[in-house]
């Protein structure tokens, strides 16, 4: 069944919008067709080599031991010994709380299965691991994973209570079910209390509603996914091409969330969108066939009631979690591992051989020398092919990744030339990482272009022109990807190539007519070009897409100021803090209009909210001096000296110059 699923992924990738992206994916996700081919190979290796319960038992204990180490890493994060990467949510070494959560799901259920099997002191070790990893799962604050685990436990204990022939076991599991019911009921009664509201984890559950921010955005994205599925229902848009659906059917209400989504945050909608109906059916078939053998054909597998209940519930918990997140490399590996185990039990059944040797026919020494020679030749050929494939498939991406990291390090130390050379090196490998390299390069190029510390204009232009050339290649390779268009347009704007930016952004708007970010960038292009009327009209469109978007309102108001329509700006900001607030955009707009009253008022707001930052006082002093208010200019300089003693020498020089009638 896994082969069928991977076959559908391959077919959808071939028929999709961008086979290159579908095949390779990117560094962040690593979920392209190449990953699924590896996953299938991994599954086949397990099926072909793991032929005794003893070997599976070793694998299970190895992965459980590793999970315990990861769990302790999470505990160290909780107590501040190690750093987290998502606020208070534990993520261990996996970099994402939801990744750690699904990792814990599989191992909690595995530890439970081993707990039921144990008949000695090891039972207590498994119980400790269950408690430890449940504790870590709780502190990931991943709601889908926690609810899925609770639901999985509930289902497994119901099955054991019903099917077990042991009366004590029945009573024990009924008691456990009652305990879960009491905990859930207690939470429902206490969810409005301060105890729950102040808990970083429990508050996430108490806040679940259809109008809650995360829920609202997920529902919106799922609706967009459904529209994408209806457009390409059979094999979808191709693996890793959800971003195209996100762009085309973008809903402006998503401005509160991330600017870019490459997943539906629901595996089932992901499958529908990227792999079509056949992708979803084959994916669900994996769950169906696992549950069929675990529950409907339990006796054939030789599994106990407890084993079948726990492993089946583990799959259900995993799939429930996938209603709210997406798969990742570690979850796919564990999923394939347990699918292979179910396949092994379905094939072998009971009794289970004590060793792999018992499964072989004949004696191990029956093979001829000729056969051994043939195997050696095959081994050499396969080994050579393996090395070649690794060099072609893996090495370029690895080297490019290393070069990107080196570029970041060089840029961080101020070595712009070194960073630029590393970016060029990364692109020269022509790997699947070129897209991300170019995206990072665009940010680097704009920083170089703006940097006052880099005075070599020739170098600035060299970086900018190289970046533009590379981003053009990117746009040719991904012609309908507005994300790549925005990266190029931003560099165009930074280098004053406004006509090119305007042309590109208008094409992008044809692809994604409801994406506010495109209008922001296009409006900026017009304003920078000096075409204030078109800039104003463009930014009005972005505002009209969703007038609750506060930043769109501000940008529209700023464009109105640039266009000389102060009344419109005041009306827009009337109930939203006014035009006098600590926002550099309003300051810049009024500065261009030489509106002395507004400039001084805004600078005073900045000074009030940033009393230790003397730059705003210096700006205000300069404005007063330019307007002829020399005494007020001196007053601001004196306050700057008073606030920052290190500025005393320079400040007193400015003051003396102004008193002498000169403008320093």
Whether residue 138 is contained in a domain is answered as yes
Mean pLDDT along residues 203-224: 79
* Radius of gyration, CA atoms only, the chain: 31
Q: Whole domain around residue 50: which residue ranges? A: 2-357
In a domain, residue 384? The reply is no
Q: Are 457 and 418 in contact (CB under 8 A)?
A: no
Q: pLDDT-derived band of residue 341, with 50, 70 and 90 as boundaries?
A: very high
Phi-psi region of 89 (alpha: psi -120 to 50; beta: other; left: phi over 0): beta
Answer yes or no: is 398 within a domain: no
Burial of 408 (0-12, 13-18, 19+ CB in 10 A): middle
Distance CA 427, CA 82 (A): 34
Helix (H, G, I), strand (E, B) or coil at 86: strand
Q: What is the mean pLDDT of residues 534-549?
A: 92
Does any domain span residue 8?
A: yes
**Alpha-carbon gap, residue 569 to 415, rounded angstroms:** 43
What was the pLDDT predicted at 195?
78
Which parts of 302-353 fold into alpha helices (H)?
305-321, 329-348
For 129, 554, 599, the CA distances from 590, given in Å and listed in that order, are 63, 14, 6
Q: Average of pLDDT values for 125-129? A: 96
C-alpha to C-alpha distance for 116 and 304, rounded to whole angstroms = 10
**What is the count of structural domains for the chain?**
1
What whole-number percentage of the chain has pLDDT above 70?
95
Q: How confident is the model at residue 4 (pLDDT cuts 50, 70, 90)?
A: very high
Q: Distances in Å between the alpha carbon of 274 and those of 4, 11, 99, 226?
A: 16, 11, 21, 11
DSSP state of 89: B
Q: What is the dihedral of CA 284, 286, 287, 290, to 10 degrees?
A: 160
Q: Which tens digit of pLDDT belongs to each residue from 143-152?
A: 999 999 999 9
Cis-peptide, bond into residue 351, ω within 30° of zero: yes
Q: Please, are residues 658 and 634 in contact by the beta-carbon 8 Å criterion?
A: yes
pLDDT bin (cut points 50, 70, 90) of residue 418 is: very high
Structure token pair of residue 549? 């978007």
Looking at residue 178, what is its pLDDT? 92
Structure tokens at 364: 């191990």
Query: Residue 199: CB partners within 8 Å, gap ≥ 6?
Result: none
Q: What percent of the chain has pLDDT over 90?
A: 62
pLDDT reading at 212 higher than 80? no
Write b or e for each residue in 141-158: b if 16 or more Cβ atoms lie within 10 A of its Cβ, otherwise e. bbbbbbbbbbbbbbbbbb
**pLDDT for position 357:** 37
Q: Which residue has the tokens 């994973």?
A: 145
pLDDT at 210: 65
- Structure tokens, 400: 């490019």
What 374-380 contacts at long range (C-beta under 8 Å, 24+ apart), as own/partner pairs, is none
Residues 64/111, Cβ–Cβ less than 8 Å: yes
Q: In whole angstroms, give the CA distance from residue 55 to residue 339.
A: 16
pLDDT at 350: 56
Q: Three-state secondary structure along 465-497?
A: HHHHHHHHHHHHHCCCCHHHHHHHHHHHHHCCC
Q: Predicted confidence band at 262 (pLDDT cuts at 50, 70, 90)? A: confident
Kindly indicate the confidence band of residue 428, based on its pLDDT and cuts at 50, 70 and 90: very high
CA distance 319 to 333: 15
Q: Please give the helix or strand (H or E) that residue 617 lies within, else none.
A: helix 614-627
Whether residue 408 is predicted with pLDDT greater than 60 in this model: the reply is yes
Please tell me the least confidently modeled range out of 69-83, 252-266, 601-615. Answer: 252-266
Whether the pLDDT of residue 166 is over 90: the answer is: no
* Helices assigned H by DSSP within 349-368: none
- pLDDT, position 364: 46
- Give the whole-angstrom CA distance, residue 264 versus residue 430: 29
- Please say whether the beta carbons of 124 and 174 come within 8 A: no
Q: Is 310 exposed, middle or buried (0-12, 13-18, 19+ CB in 10 A)?
A: buried
Q: Return the C-alpha torsion angle 331, 333, 336, 337, nearest 10.
A: -110
101: three-class secondary structure by DSSP: helix
What CA–CA distances, in Å, run from 294 to 135, 159, 174, 332? 28, 12, 22, 20
* Residue whose pair of structure tokens reads 């629901």 in the numeric block: 266
* pLDDT per residue as tens digits for the range 348-382: 875 444 343 344 444 445 445 555 666 677 778 88
Rounded CA gap, 152 and 313, in Å? 5
The dihedral over CA atoms of 598, 603, 606, 611, expressed in degrees to the nearest 10, equals: -150
Q: E strand or H helix at 48, and its extent?
A: helix 33-49
What pLDDT is recorded for position 360?
Answer: 44
**571 CB neighbour count, 10 Å cutoff:** 12
Domain membership of residue 133 (yes or no) is: yes
**Does residue 455 form part of some domain?**
no
- The answer as to whether 72 is a domain residue is yes
Please give the pLDDT value at position 645: 84
pLDDT score of 629 more than 80: yes
pLDDT per residue as tens digits for the range 78-96: 999 999 887 788 999 998 9
pLDDT of residue 569: 93
How deeply is 546 buried, as exposed, middle or buried, from its count of CB atoms within 10 A (0-12, 13-18, 19+)?
middle
Continuous segment of H or E residues that includes residue 379? helix 369-393
CA-to-CA separations, 232 to 239, 245, 282, in angstroms, rounded: 13, 10, 17
In this structure, is residue 309 part of a structural domain?
yes
Instruction: Report DSSP state, residue 352.
Output: P
Instruction: Give the Cα separation of 436 and 433 in Å (integer).
Output: 6
């Amino acid at each position: 069944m896994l082969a069928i699923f991977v076959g559908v992924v391959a077919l959808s990738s071939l028929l999709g919008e961008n086979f290159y992206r579908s095949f390779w994916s990117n560094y962040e996700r690593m979920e392209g067709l190449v990953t699924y081919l590896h996953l299938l190979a991994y599954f086949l290796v397990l099926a072909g080599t793991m032929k005794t319960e003893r070997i599976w038992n070793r694998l299970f204990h190895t992965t459980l031991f590793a999970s315990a180490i990861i769990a302790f890493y999470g505990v160290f994060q909780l107590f501040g010994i190690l750093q987290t990467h998502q606020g208070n949510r534990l993520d261990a070494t996996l970099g994402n709380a939801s990744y750690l959560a699904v990792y814990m799901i599989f191992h909690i259920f595995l530890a439970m299965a081993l707990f039921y099997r144990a008949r000695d002191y090891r039972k207590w070790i498994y119980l400790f691991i269950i408690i430890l990893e449940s504790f870590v799962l709780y502190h990931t604050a991943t709601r889908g994973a926690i609810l899925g685990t609770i639901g999985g436990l509930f289902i497994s204990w119901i099955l054991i209570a019903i099917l077990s022939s042991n009366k004590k076991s029945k009573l024990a599991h009924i008691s456990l079910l009652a305990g879960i019911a009491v905990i859930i009921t207690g939470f429902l009664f206490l969810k409005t209390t301060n105890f729950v509201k102040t808990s970083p984890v429990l508050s996430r559950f108490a806040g679940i509603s259809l109008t809650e921010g995360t829920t609202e955005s997920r529902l919106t994205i799922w609706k967009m996914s459904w529209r994408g599925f209806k457009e390409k229902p059979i094999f979808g848009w191709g693996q890793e091409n959800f971003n195209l659906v996100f762009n085309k059917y973008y809903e402006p209400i998503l401005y509160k969330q991330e600017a870019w989504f490459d997943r539906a945050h629901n595996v089932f909608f992901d499958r529908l969108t990227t792999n079509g109906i056949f992708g979803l059916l084959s994916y669900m078939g994996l769950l169906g066939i696992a549950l069929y053998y675990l529950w409907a054909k339990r006796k054939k597998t030789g599994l106990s009631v407890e084993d079948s209940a726990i492993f089946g519930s583990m799959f259900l918990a995993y799939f429930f979690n996938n209603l709210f997140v997406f798969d990742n490399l570690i979850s796919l590996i564990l999923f394939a591992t347990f699918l292979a185990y179910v396949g092994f039990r379905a094939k072998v059944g009971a009794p289970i051989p004590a060793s792999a040797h018992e499964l072989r026919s004949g004696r191990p020494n029956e093979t001829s020398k000729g056969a051994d020679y043939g195997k050696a030749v095959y081994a050499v050929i396969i080994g050579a092919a393996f090395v070649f494939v690794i060099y072609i498939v893996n090495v370029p991406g690895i080297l490019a990744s290393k070069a990107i990291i080196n570029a970041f390090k060089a840029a961080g130390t101020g070595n712009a030339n070194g960073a630029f050379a590393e970016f060029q090196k990364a692109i020269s490998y022509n790997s699947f990482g070129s897209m991300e390299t170019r995206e990072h390069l665009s940010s680097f190029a704009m920083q170089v272009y703006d940097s006052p510390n880099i005075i070599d204009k020739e170098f600035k232009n060299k970086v900018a022109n190289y970046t533009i050339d590379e981003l053009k290649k990117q746009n040719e390779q991904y012609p309908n990807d507005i994300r790549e268009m925005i990266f190029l347009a931003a560099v165009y704007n930074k280098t004053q190539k406004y006509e090119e930016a305007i042309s590109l952004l208008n094409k992008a708007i044809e692809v994604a007519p409801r994406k506010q970010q495109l209008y922001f960038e296009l409006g900026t292009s017009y304003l920078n070009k000096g075409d204030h009327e078109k800039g104003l009209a463009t930014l009005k469109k972005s505002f009209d897409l969703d007038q609750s978007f506060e930043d769109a309102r501000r940008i529209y108001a700023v464009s109105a100021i640039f266009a000389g329509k102060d009344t419109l700006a005041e009306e827009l900001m009337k109930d939203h803090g006014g035009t006098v607030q600590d926002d550099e955009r309003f300051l810049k707009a009024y500065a261009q209009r030489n509106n002395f009253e507004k400039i001084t008022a805004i600078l005073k707001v900045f000074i009030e909210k940033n009393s230790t930052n003397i730059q705003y006082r210096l700006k205000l002093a300069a404005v007063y001096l330019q307007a002829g208010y020399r005494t007020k200019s001196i007053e601001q300089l004196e306050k700057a000296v008073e606030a920052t003693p290190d500025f005393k020498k320079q400040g007193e020089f400015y003051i003396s110059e102004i008193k002498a009638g000169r403008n320093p």
